[in-house]
Chains A and B, each alone.
Chain A
Amino acid sequence: MSAPVLQTDLAVIGAGPAGLSAALAAARAGARVLLLDEYSQPGGQYMKQLAQGFSVPDTSRLDDEMQRGAALAQAVRDAGVVIEPSTLVLASFAPGELAISRRGEPALVRARAIVVATGAHERAIAFPGWDLPGVMTPGGAQTLAKTQRVLPGRRIVLAGSGPFLMPVAKSLLAIGAEIVAVFETTRPRAWSPHVLRLAGHGERVREALAYRRMLRAARVPVHFNHIVVEAVGTDAVERVRVVPCDDAGRVRIGAGYREIEADALCVGYGFVPAVQLTRALGCAHRHAPVRGGWVPEHDQDMRTTVANVFVAGEVAGIGGAPVAAAEGQLAGLAAARTLGCTVDDRALAQARRERAHRRRFADLVGELFPVKPAYYAPITDATIVCRCEEVTAGEVRRAAAEWGGELNFIKGVTRCGMGYCQGRICGSIVEALVCQTLGIHPGSAGALTVRTPLKPVPVEVLAGLAND
């Protein structure tokens, strides 16, 4: 082997709330922990850190998530965890072994246990013009604003569905953005039957109310029961078309569209678990719409169906940072015990309870903001759905009609999901289109096979991983 080999007890993949918490719990229990993260600084998406190069004379003036992320990352380092930033996991060719690209150089990790905490991608849903420059995910816009104080545009429309639109609005407003309007496909009245289930989650409810007040103070109009149907522009988005919709997300017949001038449209419909690595590791997955789609199966201690592989956070089911941290803590303790470290029974029981409590709220949010079939209705046959390979919805629908409801056949016929992103963006859209075309149940069309390397790397890196 020409690539260096890194030996460790526990490898944790992903340094967001889940991965940091898992690494901390396991290290404090006595395990040797290696934490691999794709980004240049730990924190993940939720606790994104200010870009290196920017400076803050008074760190207490950074937002809460940045401060918490910095403190947690420091605690993880203090516990003796080795953090490897700018590191991609490319493949796993043997149990406990990960082929990685560490800041552009190949290496192998050999670990006795693995915690996968790879988080999620935003759920983008296609519509005509969604590939125009200026259309981006809310999270992408938030990252630009928070980490490097760059705005996605001068007139911003924020749209889609789910609680995440609120913190994005906050981050944009904090650096002086003009948010022309927020369009949310659901409406608060549709949530009221669930209000009793909010008991015991007062902190999260107060958070939501604070966002509402913030938008009102900034005079940002919020329109419920509205859906984006088109982005219009020549070289980039110039106008956004929005229509009223009912509680099922269906466009109201005859309502007519409203056109808003904007040079940025940030639109997203929640998140999709990033299961590429759990798939590559051979974990069994199940389709759980309330958790965001395909998720790895796991037991009460976050153990997957593959020996010594655990999951935590968004990859195990969408739920937000509190459940991610709780699952990280639980997975870290459970992994440490598996490795032979002494883990107090009460600590483990407490971690299980905390995780269950947080997951209940997360599942409620998942139920309040389901991905409704009508969200895919604006997709015309000419709309590109696979952005990498430029495959249109018409091609996917025709392939489904001709070849049937098996996603990997559709992929083979149309090339959708074969590009650089490996279906991270289009996978859930293609799945919905195929199931809708054939009238079959979501989740019954199989899943796109993942291919190694899980993300593109120069061929030199792969060559470095080959046997001599």
Chain B
Amino acid sequence: MNTDAEQQRIAALPFDKALAEFKATVEKLEAGNLPLEESIALFEQGVLLQRRCEKMLSEAELRFQRLVEQAGGKVRALDLSMGEAEEPG
């Protein structure tokens, strides 16, 4: 169950999805009536999800960008240095 692919999938989940999946996993395990093998797989999955959530909460850094319109009307986000924002005008 916890193959490398599964670990990679969890490591790439956005916070809200990871949290929702973590909650569902806990609830499924709490409901019980599962074979031991499956219970342990769920448990391992829950541990991975919990670690994903905690990692994001403690390590994330805000991305702060400025939108610019390019020729052709496409809107792109470029990094915004606060020096640029501090200048009056």
Q: Do A and B bind each other?
A: no
- Name A's B-contacting residues (CB within 8 A): none
- Name B's A-contacting residues (CB within 8 A): none
